[in-house]
Amino acid sequence: MDWYQTLFELIDMRSFSNLWFWIVLAVTWSTASHWVLGVPYDMVLRARRQGDQAEVDLEDMVRINVNRLLFIAQVSGLWILGFGCFGLTMLVLLGFVYGMEFAQAVFLLAFPLSLIGLLSLSTARLIQAEESGGERLRRRLTRHRLYTQIIGMVSIFVTAIWGMYQNVALGPLGG
């Protein structure tokens, strides 16, 4: 048995029947809902409970991440959008037209995360435009986290339904 065959047995390209895919899916959405605009959500909770320096730290961290995100969007936003659309289109074609299960799995991870990226950009613009601070900033970040969790729940549900369909339709050996 060569290393190539061993590697592909460990990283099964039948994604929906592979435990690693479901672990990646859970960790991805857990991480996405914990980091709100690049700020860990526990900082929002700490600022709400303690105020003072925790509030200043939160506002500084959000200001830095909002400015960074908006700068990246302004400088190279169209290129990122173009490459992102190209990548998602390629995954759709490979996955759903040509039946490549690995591409389906990556698309079902990447597409909702691209929606989170657009949501983050929109939230960053709102925070900068209204110069949010204090309670208003915490509410905006909490709302962003809620929307992220809703997108994540829908994504996990759709992925689970599609994965179950693939496993039932294709069987354990892939056809």
pLDDT in tens, 112-122: 999 999 999 99
Residues 113 and 130: their CA atoms lie apart, in Å, by 26
Mean pLDDT, consecutive 10-residue stretches, the chain (175 aa), reads 68 74 94 94 93 92 96 96 97 95 95 97 95 91 97 97 88 56
DSSP-based three-state secondary structure for 131: coil
**Residue 7: predicted pLDDT:** 63
**Residue 9: predicted pLDDT:** 63
Please report the DSSP string for the chain in residue order.
--HHHHHHHHS-S-GGG-HHHHHHHHHHHHHHHHEETTEEHHHHHHHHHH-HHHHHHHHHHHHHHHHHHHHHHHHHHHHHHHHHHHHHHHHHIIIIIS--HHHHHHHHHHHHHHHHHHHHHHHHHHHHHHT--HHHHHHHHHHHHHHHHHHHHHHHHHHHHHHHHHHHHHTTTT-
**Residue 150: predicted pLDDT:** 98
